Amino acid sequence: MRFGTTEIILIVLLIVLLFGAKKIPELMRGMGRGVKEFKDAVNKDYSAEDVDPTENKSDKPAPTKEE
């Protein structure tokens, strides 16, 4: 499904009518901040300092099934 020029103009006009012209920049700014925070969280550099060296899951004995 492709949107033509007419459909895009109608969608933009509908958004302006629903939210008002003054609210749209505020909404876009908030959305931009959210996207930036998401990208920062995804691209976070996990260094060796973030990992607890004392936590080693292989030291725990495997659970045994008693019959």
The amino acid at residue 51 is V
Instruction: Using a cut of 0.85, tell me whether the model's pTM lies above it.
Output: no
Measured between its terminal Cα atoms, the distance across the chain in Å is 61
Max avg pLDDT among 7-11, 15-19, 48-52: 7-11
Q: What is the pLDDT of residues 20-51, one digit of tens each?
A: 888 888 988 999 999 999 999 888 866 555 55
DSSP label at residue 14: H
How remote is the C-alpha of 8 from its chain's centroid?
A: 26
The domain locations on the chain are 1-40
How remote is the C-alpha of 18 from its chain's centroid?
A: 25
